[in-house]
Structure 1
Amino acid sequence: MNEMLPGMPTELFVATPTKLLNFADCKRKYRYTYLETPRPPKGPPWAHNTVGAVVHEVLADFYGRWPAPRRTPDEVVGKMRSSWRQEGFRDEQQSASWRERSTDMVLGYLRDSDPYYEPLAVERTVAFTTERASLRGRVDRIDERADQLVIVDYKTGRRPLTSTDARSSLAMALYVLGARRVLHRACTRVELHHLPTNTIAAADHDDQSLAHHQRRAESIADDAAAAETRWHEGLTLAEADEVFPPEPSPLCGWCDFARICPQGRRVAPPRDPWAGLDDSDIAEAG
């Protein structure tokens, strides 16, 4: 925080939902990700992240960049193939199988869509400030329905989602607040579009639920700002581990830094890069 000149405004802590959640989940991971220079080596890329990144890229092109006459199945198939990447898969066969599987997933999601539908925004950055933090994030899609904005987020993970997931998501709530501030429109509804099951998990926020999420974001931001201040003052390794302690859990096997964190490895060994793909593909891999 900036206290150089008396009477000057307090410096706001700038963060995205991902940054806040990284601090809340594991402070050592936060330190490795945002503070250490050079950054400690990460593990190999994840195959499920490759799937998600390509799917998001194709849907962003479909809704945000292609004119309506181009929004055809053939164009989607061509874009999926040209955008596909090999990172994280066990071998070329698994990669090719998931390219086709992901293509079918996107085509199924778009099957009943109106090619002439134009969302209000695609890959739009929204932001707002509180007394203590400047919070921003990029929304996959913002729809306009019945004079209200709807926050849409694409999901490609293997676990089906529920309205509780949508309502409890810190990121989605912050997107609502950011969209209200940037676009000056009413916005309460959030939707998680789960492509593997072609289902939508939706929730409607009210002032109370949004205030709850804002308080949570501010609380995490305050703690992260205080920890970063300590970091920039200079810490010994022991002090750094005290300010940014590891928080071992079964999720440690999925951490990018699992291979260099002994506490995490004791709880959960590092996962294979393709382990995040769904169970049927894991069975095939065996």
Structure 2
Amino acid sequence: MTAGGQLEMPGMPRRLFPATPSKLATFSDCPRRYRMAYLDRPTPPKGPPWAHNTVGSAVHAALRSWWELPVPERTPRAARQLLYGHWSDTGFADAEQSATWRARAAGWLDEYVPTLDPTDEPVGTERQVAATTERLAVSGRVDRIDARGDELVVVDYKTGRVPSTEDEARGSPALALYVLGVRRTLRRPCTRVELHHLPSGTVAAFEHTDRSLANHVRRAEDVAEDITTATAARDAGAGDDEAFPPVPGQQCSWCDFRRSCPTGQAAAPPRETWSFLPVEP
């Protein structure tokens, strides 16, 4: 019997665990948070949205929309206008802070967009890709997929506090799984991943090998196995905290489910929703 209660017949293929990079990362960070996000129904109420996520979402949406424009209209000015259209005041301390960050993000696009060739059409923007391994059915959405010669490149936009590094590109489980998804979905070679950090104008890249991808797959499958075991234990009558224990720490300050988690409330004080924005000069 599987964790989902379905009968497994001898000789039948093993049921694949449906996964996304964020789903696996959530369990790795805190099994309780995974339970609240993916298993509890109704889902516990989430906390307020964060300003740094508002910035990232608007920049991502502006770049996606920019590539959807006719080629002659793909200008830095157009990117700025698209950002304004996607902008929200959500998570900021006040309208003044929001306006400051909108101008700052527009400046990032003013610097980044001229580095792009508007005639070099991406193979995909925010493209859904999927792949299977021995134990996983994994899927995800890639910010941009470029064609470089005969190969495809996974491009991920970053808007965080610090520039991305090669170690980050190499160690990202999500990017590795995206490579597998691009290969399976688009049936073309893909090894390179790039993190485009717009605030600094830097690019961190890594060329995956079969070995590095296999290492990421093995770790992802191990997490999926742990999730399956925990879910089966809960279905068999184990308590929620026994099957999905909390992992308290500083991350509890910004957990979406903090208001429903006394352990997290005791572990760390709450943070303001704009506190992850870089310190303004």
Partner of 1:59: 63
Please say if 1:17 is aligned against 2:29. no
Gaps of 5+ in 1: 282-286
CA distance in 1, matches of 2:260, 2:191: 42
Paired letter, 2:202 = T
Secondary structure of 1:185's match? coil
> Who is 2:280 aligned against?
280
Residue identity over aligned pairs, in percent, reads 53
In 2, Cα distance between equivalents of 1:118 and 1:272: 40
Alpha-carbon distance, 1:233 to partner? 4.4
Whether 2:242 is the aligned partner of 1:242: answer yes
Cα deviations by residue, 1:59-102 (Å, 9 ceiling, x for unpaired): 11112x11111112232222111211111011111111111111
Query: Aligned partners of 1:74 and 1:225: how far apart in 2?
Result: 49
Cross-structure match for 2:263: 263
User: Which whole-Å CA distance do the structure 2 matches of 1:146 and 1:8 have between them?
Assistant: 41
The match for 2:181 is 178
Q: How does 1:114-193 map to 2 (within 5 A)?
A: 114-193=117-196
CA distance in 2, matches of 1:83, 1:225: 39
Paired residue secondary structure (1:111): helix
> Which residue in 1 is equivalent to 2:114?
111
Q: Is the 8 A contact 1:3 1:10 kept in 2?
A: no
What letter is aligned with 1:26? Answer: C
Alpha-carbon distance between aligned partners in 2 of 1:179 and 1:114, rounded to the nearest angstrom: 22
Q: Could you tell me how far apart the structure 1 residues matched to 2:162 and 2:154 are? A: 20
Normalised by the length of structure 2, the TM-score is 0.94
- 1:26 alignment partner in structure 2: 30
Question: Closer, same or farther in 2 for the Cα pair 1:233/1:223, shift >3 Å?
Answer: same
- Map Cα deviations across residues 234-253 of structure 1 (whole Å, 9 max, x no partner): 55xxx101111110122221
Question: More deviation in 262-271 or 149-158?
Answer: 262-271
What does the per-residue CA deviation read over 1:118-154, in whole Å, with 9 as the maximum and x for residues that have no partner?
1111111111112211011110011111211111000
Decide which moves more: 254-263 or 161-170: 254-263
Deviations, residues 3-28 of structure 1 (Å, cap 9, x unaligned): 25444332211010000010011001
Question: Could you tell me whether the CA contact under 8 Å between 1:156 and 1:196 is conserved in 2?
Answer: yes
TM-score scaled by structure 1? 0.92
Taking the aligned partners of 1:73 and 1:245, their CA distance within structure 2 comes to: 48
The code of the aligned residue for 1:203 comes to F
Count of residue pairs the alignment pairs up: 277
CA displacement, residues 151-171 of structure 1 (integer Å, 9 cap, x when unaligned) = 100011112211000000000
Give the secondary structure class of the aligned counterpart of 1:97.
helix
239-248 or 253-262: bigger deviation: 253-262
DSSP-derived class of the 1:143 partner:
strand
State the secondary structure of the residue aligned to 1:189: strand
Question: Could you tell me how far 1:33 is from its partner in structure 2?
Answer: 0.6
- Please provide the CA RMSD for this pair: 1.5
For residues 179 and 4 of structure 1, what CA distance do their matches in structure 2 show? 30
Q: Is contact 2:87–2:102 with CA below 8 Å preserved after alignment?
A: yes
Separation in 1, partners of 2:209, 2:9: 39
Secondary structure (helix, strand or coil) at the match of 1:114 reads: coil
CA offsets per residue over residues 159-189 of structure 1, 9 Å max, x none? 2211000000000000111111111111111
For the residue of structure 1 that corresponds to 2:115, the secondary structure is coil
